[in-house]
Every structure is written in C-alpha cells, then in structure tokens.
Structure 1
Amino acid sequence: MAGLQIKGELVPEDVGTDDCLTSYVHIYSPDLLKDQVAFITGGGSGIGLRIAEIFMRHGCDTVIASRNLDKLKEVAKKLSAVTGRRCLPLCIDVRQPESIATAVDETLKELGQIDILINNAAGNFLCPASALSFNAFKTVMEIDTMGTFNTSKVVYEKWFKDHGGNIVNISATLGYKGQALQVHAGSAKAANDAMTKHLAVEWGPSGVRVNAVAPGPISGTEGFRRLGGPTGEAVGAFQSIPLQRAGNKTEMAHCTLFLASRASSYVTGTILVADGGAWLTSANDVSMLLGIASSKSAKL
C-alpha cells in the first residue's frame, strides 16, 4: 500500500518501528537530490531515520550520525539495501565540537562534499519545572541548542562557507504556548528557531539557506511515546487537532525534503510548522498535565 486515504487525502505510508518503508510513491522527482550528500544528526532512529531514507530515495547519499555506532551501522545497511545509495554511519556527540569536526572530516574524505545538514539530534521527557534538576535542563539545552549550533558552525567552517549549502533544523511547537512540563525542551527549541533566523541572515551571502521544520505529535517516534502520544490518541485527544490525527515520520521527511531541495530555493529563515494545526487549537490543559507528572526530580 502506498498510503492511507483519510477524508479524501492520501497520507503517505509509514511504519511505527525504526525500519524502512515497505513501499514508496515519489511526490517529487526521484532525482531531486541526485548526487548530493546530507549529514543528518540523530539519523539512526525516528524522524531522522526516515529523513535519511526519503533523501536517499531521491538520489542523495547520507551520513547518519549519533552516539550509538552499532545501531547506526545496522540502520545504514538497511537504508542502502532499500535505496541503492551510500549511507555512512558515524559516531558523534553533538555536545563536543571536536567529535563533530572528526565526523565532518571523515565525511569529506569518504563522500567528497556536504550539501545538506539536518540538525535532528534532541532529547525530551515530561517534567514540571519545580522537579527538573539543574543537570537535566542543562543537558537538554546542550543537546538541542548547543548541538545545533556546534554542528552548524563546524559544517559551515569546513565546507558551507566556501561552497554554499542547506541547513534544516528540526524544531517543535512546544514553546508557542508555554506548555506545562516542557520548559527544558520548549526553551531549547525556541532558541533554535531564533538561531535559524540569525544564521539565515549571516550566512545567506555565502549561499547558505537555513530553515526549520516544527513537527507536532508524530507517531512512531520515541518522543511520541515519551510525551504520552499513544495515551492521548487512545482517549481521542487528537480530535482537537484540525486534521484530527497525529502526523507520521514520512510527512516530516517530505517537509524536510522540500526545505533541503531546490523546490524551496528562495526560502530561508523560515520555520515550517507541520503539526496538522495542533498548536492553534489543542488545549493547554495545565491541571491535567501537572496531574500526570511525577514530583520527583528528573535525572538524565
């Protein structure tokens, strides 16, 4: 099956696990990213994995980078087998610029160029601010915000500055309403949205476009499970979303593909909200959210 028909709209196929799609129908030319190279942080699972797959199905070679090299190697084999494109698994910690620099050097040595950077590495969980440990807040900021800056700066200095390029940051809508239990992730993503605009302005003259995708609830991801998505879906909470459903990873990959390709060649400094309209209408139920939170200090 190539997709699911929902009220007249064909929703692209996805799978809930970290596996490749069983079938795929191109909505853009299969050569849209032909012979380009994408460097994807957090590319071994969830949205990052699906972005890698969709990019590769459009002619791109990829680097998938995170801390778990064994998992990355498994995923890379699956991606290459399905798409016929090259996938290079590299171990990095986005909090450490030196490890990013080593990975970027290896990418340039093996693949010769970097055309696209996807900043997808992130961490999140539910916790009230009063119970959030100082270290937990710091860690989320280091991964989400510092990690995005670190990777962008290293790739810019080593390649984009002289060759141009394309950056897409994976953001979130958490900070738009001031959602309970999300001060850490909401603050980090709000900083990334601002960073997207600042870097678009500064690096535009070098031929670098910088944009972001802000997903809503996306099924089949660790974030969806950690943030109570399955429970919300079971009790009908998504009926308040204008499109009345959660999104899926393939849809987020398509949004990212648009921003990373020549289809959006005159777009920079933009945050593309892809949440089915959720942040406009979904209740910010403070009592309910605080009721499900543990009063114990969060630890990472």
Structure 2
Amino acid sequence: MTETAASPPPATRSARTVARPATADERKAALAGLFDRSAPTYERVGVNHFADLGQRLIGHADVLPGDRILDIGCGTGAVLVPAARATGTTGSAVGVDLSAGMVARSRAALREAGLTHAHAVVADAETIDWDAQGGVHPPADGTLDVVCAGISLFFLPHPRQAVSRYRELLGPGGRLAVSWWGRPDPRWDPVFAASAPYGRGGSSHALPEDSPFRSVAALHAMLEEAGYASVETVEEPCVTRFRGPHQWWDWVWSTAGRMFWEGVPAESRERAEAAVNAELDRLRAPDGSLTSTSAVRFTVARAQRSPGSGAMR
C-alpha cells in the first residue's frame, strides 16, 4: 500500500508567527528554544540522517584513542557518541549545546552507551565558557586534540569568532572537523519553492550574504585567517529516505526545519501544506517513498605544530 500525501499530524502542528531576532543574543535564545521544541522527536521518526553524518565526521577527524574532544552543538549525541567511542576511556569527550533539551538527549545517549568518560553541558558554543556542570569544567587553551562541529557551525551568529576560539583551545597539530551542507537535491527545489511564499519567520538554515558557508573557498579563507595551518574539504552524498510524505512531514517538524513552518500564519497553513504536498506527490517513487540526495561537506583544519614537535599524524 502506498502512502497518500498528508499534512503534519495535529500533535506537531502548533505554529506561531516568529519575529526574526535582531541581536546575536536574541538569535541564540531563539535557536535554543527551537531545538528545545525539536528535542522530543529529533532523530526519532525513523529516518537515519544525522547519526550517519556524525559517524562519518568522526572518521574524517581521524579521532584516535586518548584524544581529548570537544563537540560543538552536540544535539542528541550524533557526533558525541561515536567520538567518545573512538577516543576510548583513555581520552575524553565533552559536548556543548545551548539547548537544554538537546543536552538531556545527549546525556541519555551517553548513559545508554555506557560512555562514562564523556559528558554534555549547556553552554555557548561560540565562547566555550561555562560554570562547572557535574564536575565538568571548560577546557583550557591548548589542551584539546579535536574540535568537532556536526551540521552546526553555520547556525552560530559569529562563526569567525568561534573558529578563532577553537584554534586557541587546540594543542599543536589539533584538528577542527566540520560538516556542513553543499548543494541540496535539485529535484526538491520545487518543494521549497512551493512553501516559500507562505513563511514569515525565516529559516534556521538561511545564510547571511557574508556567510563563510556559501562556498568552500570562503570557508577555507575564514579558517586560514583564524590561524589554521592546513584546510581540506571533501564532498560526499547524503541520501535520506522517507516512507512517504507523512514521514517527511514528521521529520521536518523534528528538526530545525520546523522554524519555517512555525512562521506560517494559521490562515495560510492549509494552502501552504497543499502546495508542498502536490510537489511531494510528483517526487514519489512507485512504492510511495521519497528520496533526497544532497551534498554534505567535511572540512578538516589543522593547528600548526610547534617547531620540533614531530610530524603531523
């Protein structure tokens, strides 16, 4: 049986008209609230997406046993859990996130995996400064081996300041490993074009004109300006599958993508959903499923080693 295009289930459809925050602090507070609302269902609607990307990022970061790791925007632990497994009990892994709901999810994931040497704290991912939580203190400058940011760094209001701060925290030869989006699946352009006229609250994924995440060259330039010695980016496909439109709606409302739909006025929602469902119907395979193949980029930047410290690993 194939699934018919559907609106989001009533339990997930509470929408609000969202004013776009003006200041950096307001944007951070809005982002934390957005992910708090997503936390109960994030990665729980049957779509394997961020967990796969987190595992891949740890591979690109070349995490080794004994490494000391900081995970930026740890969310539900998609990067933090594989990072803690890779570094082992001789190392350490700490995840930071502004969303208390997401930090609770990460802590639960660590407990379930038995990873007692890893922790998650509520903290600003730009400043990496917090009061001790559960005995976990902020890292001192020059003490980290790896800083990871899985599909998160472009959310920060001041990414240039953030990567400079991470450079201070990394020891000689340390790595900053970042995953971020390349070109979305062009087949899906009509879906987003259909919804665009109805949104008022903006999108959490909208990039400012001066964002370094608009191109590989721009990101490399930002990292080099921040003092990283070498920067490399590889691009890989990210294939996401949905049983049908209903699961796609569930997934959107479980992610930061809900920000757009929370900003659709109540009087426009039925028309907006109908316009999107019409485009989703055109994308469906004979069995009713939907597939999106987007580009994901993995960038690794290395801190300069001190003279005489040996070859880079």
TM-score range, shorter chain: 0.3 to 0.5
- TM-score, length of structure 1 as denominator length: 0.47
- TM-score, length of structure 2 as denominator length: 0.46
Q: Which has the higher contact order (CA 8 A, sep 6+)?
A: 2
